[in-house]
């Protein structure tokens, strides 16, 4: 970063082709940011920031408010952000005299915004948010919400706040209502007109993803919003839409359409299309079990019982951890009940982890062995291949795990790779892995039934399967070490 003049700086970034949005953090103190932490999200529109898309993260709220207002003078939403950042529950032990009286602070901020005479979506929406924050809620919130919707509907302009993830994630977020965590359905009902007008915005995403009050919504509007997302690769949105279509008590029930949406979500997750398109970089992986559970239900509700049961059996084998197996097991059991097979349903509820079949292997350093010959030892197996994103993500962690138990004759760590010996040797010369590496293991994976990579398996001293999970993570080695440590106690 180079200083051009005064407080103006210039920098150049090499951006990957797959990037949709770049986050820039400036960590030097300036007059605008005394604590020196500014985050900018720059979109591919010539490098210009949309007003209101700069987010300031710092403990000095006054600076944050000043910066937001200087960037975007009409951004009354900055006052709400001031409130959110400085509620006593957030500041904890910080001593800020003006914040000792929580509700007085909120009322004073409401007063500042109300003094303005601007009839803008930003101002009305800010007041709707702030009145809703009052203890027990305030009906005035709905009045300002209706004004915000009417104002934007009349102008039909591109409103920057519609792309403010922070706002809509906050607005459509569950809160305690009648002893339950739920979202006020009025927030969906009163904004459905905007959802129809601006479906493919951050606002539209959270509206359809957390949809509530369906019985009171215009079904035609909901269907139009859903269709607007039909070409999306955002796994979370697709999965949420499918859930509504699989709710047998909902007017949106449509298992056939849900299946098609879930297949698209599955493809997006498997091929990381949400990440590549920039729609949802956080949902590019880790949603497989959730999608599979819903696919079982969608197929079963269409009367394809045998197919649903086969899908349930296969999904249980590849489930990544306890939660994944629980959600899949529940839908697997329900599918069996719909088919009239109570015995199979009970078996599905009490599903046990797969039995590891015996297989012989050869390692890249010339040793051979078999699963049967390892009885009496704890066996940890990692199935992977070069080029697998999740596998690369956890490589260092697994190497640390291997080093931890290197020389411990009670534990064997098998790394079962799909690649040939030469390719593996070249790769491991740059990225070592403390394990017995088995090469060109396609036949082994087929025999074991592994189709998702990476997959981790732990066998106890008697050959019983104690862990069978799919999916990569940076702490995979730590989790395996904890599991092995319990067995060694």
Structurally, the chain folds into a number of domains equal to 3
Length of the chain: 489
Quick one: pLDDT at residue 68?
A: 54
- Residue 269 domain-assigned (yes or no): yes
pTM over 0.75: no
The verdict on 369 and 484 lying in the same domain is yes
User: Beta 378-384 vs 368-370: how paired, if at all?
Assistant: unpaired
Task: Name the residue range of residue 187's domain.
Answer: 183-229
Q: Whole-angstrom Cα distance, residue 232 to residue 204?
A: 13
- Residue 246 domain-assigned (yes or no): yes
The verdict on 473 and 404 lying in the same domain is yes
Q: Whole-angstrom Cα distance, residue 416 to residue 395?
A: 13
- Residue 221 domain-assigned (yes or no): yes
The verdict on 342 and 400 lying in the same domain is no
Spatial contact of 204 and 195, defined as CB atoms under 8 Å apart: yes
If one compares 179 and 431, the residue with the highest pLDDT of the two is 431
Q: Whole-angstrom Cα distance, residue 432 to residue 424?
A: 10
Spatial contact of 402 and 456, defined as CB atoms under 8 Å apart: no
- Percentage above 90 pLDDT, the chain: 46
Quick one: pLDDT at residue 96?
A: 38
The verdict on 286 and 376 lying in the same domain is no
- The yes-or-no verdict on residue 57 having pLDDT over 60 is no
Quick one: pLDDT at residue 16?
A: 47
CA-closest candidate to residue 159, choices 87, 74, 79:
74
The verdict on 462 and 399 lying in the same domain is yes
If one compares 388 and 395, the residue with the highest pLDDT of the two is 395
Around Cβ 182, how many Cβ atoms within 10 Å?
Answer: 12
Give a three-class secondary structure readout of 137-177: CCCHHHHHHHHHHHHHHHHCCCCHHHHCHHHHHHHCCCEEE
- The yes-or-no verdict on residue 220 having pLDDT over 70 is yes
Cα torsion angle, 249, 252, 256, 262, sign: negative
Half-sphere exposure of 470 (CA within 13 A, CB side): 22
> pLDDT band at 55, cuts 50/70/90?
very low
- The mean pLDDT of 389-393, rounded to a whole number, is 81
The verdict on 371 and 479 lying in the same domain is yes
Q: Whole-angstrom Cα distance, residue 105 to residue 156?
A: 34
Half-sphere exposure of 101 (CA within 13 A, CB side): 6
- Residue 456 domain-assigned (yes or no): yes
The verdict on 454 and 409 lying in the same domain is yes
Q: Whole-angstrom Cα distance, residue 223 to residue 254?
A: 11
- The yes-or-no verdict on residue 395 having pLDDT over 70 is yes
If residue 39 lies in a helix (H) or strand (E), which one and from where to where?
Answer: strand 38-42
């Amino acid at each position: 970063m180079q200083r051009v003049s005064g407080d103006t700086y210039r920098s150049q970034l090499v951006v990957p082709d797959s990037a949709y949005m770049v986050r820039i953090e400036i960590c030097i103190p300036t007059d605008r940011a005394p604590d020196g932490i500014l985050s900018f999200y720059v979109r591919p529109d010539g490098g210009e920031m949309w007003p209101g898309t700069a987010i300031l993260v710092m403990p000095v709220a006054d600076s944050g408010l000043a910066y937001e207002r200087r960037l975007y003078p009409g951004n009354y939403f900055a006052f709400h952000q001031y409130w959110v950042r400085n509620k006593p529950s957030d500041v904890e032990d910080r001593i800020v005299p003006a914040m000792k009286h929580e509700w007085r602070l909120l009322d004073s901020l409401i007063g500042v915004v109300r003094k303005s005479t601007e009839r803008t979506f930003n101002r009305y929406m800010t007041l709707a948010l702030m009145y809703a924050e009052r203890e027990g809620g305030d009906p005035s919130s709905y009045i300002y919400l209706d004004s915000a919707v009417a104002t934007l509907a009349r102008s039909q302009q591109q409103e920057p706040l519609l792309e403010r993830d922070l706002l809509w994630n906050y607005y459509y977020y569950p809160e305690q209502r009648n002893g339950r965590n739920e979202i006020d359905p009025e927030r969906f009902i009163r904004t459905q007109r905007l959802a129809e007008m601006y479906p493919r915005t951050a606002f539209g995403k959270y509206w359809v993803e957390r949809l509530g009050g369906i019985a009171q919504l215009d079904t035609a509007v909901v269907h139009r919003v859903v269709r607007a997302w039909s070409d999306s690769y955002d796994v979370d949105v697709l999965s949420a839409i499918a859930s509504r279509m699989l709710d047998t008590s909902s007017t949106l029930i449509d298992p056939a359409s849900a299946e098609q949406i879930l297949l698209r979500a599955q493809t997006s997750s498997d091929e990381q299309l949400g990440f590549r398109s920039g729609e949802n970089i956080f949902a590019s992986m880790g949603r497989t079990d959730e999608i599979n559970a819903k696919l079982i239900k969608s197929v079963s509700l269409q009367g394809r019982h045998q197919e649903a049961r086969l899908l349930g059996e296969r999904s249980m084998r590849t489930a990544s951890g306890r939660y994944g197996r629980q959600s899949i097991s529940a839908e697997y059991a329900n599918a069996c009940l719909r088919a009239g097979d109570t015995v199979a349903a009970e078996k599905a509820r009490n599903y046990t982890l797969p039995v590891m079949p015996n297989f012989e292997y050869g390692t890249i350093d010339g040793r051979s062995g078999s699963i049967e010959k390892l009885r009496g030892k704890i066996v940890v197996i990692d199935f992977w291949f070069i080029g697998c994103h999740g596998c690369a993500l956890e490589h260092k962690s697994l190497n640390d795990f291997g080093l931890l138990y290197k020389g411990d004759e009670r534990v064997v760590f098998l790394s079962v790779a799909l690649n040939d010996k030469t390719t593996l040797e070249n790769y491991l010369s740059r990225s070592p892995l403390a394990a017995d590496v088995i090469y060109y293991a396609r036949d082994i994976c087929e025999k074991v039934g592994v189709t998702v990579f990476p997959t981790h398996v732990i066998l106890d001293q008697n050959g019983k399967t104690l862990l069978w999970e799919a999916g990569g993570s940076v702490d995979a080695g730590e989790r395996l070490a904890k599991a092995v440590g319990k067995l060694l106690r």
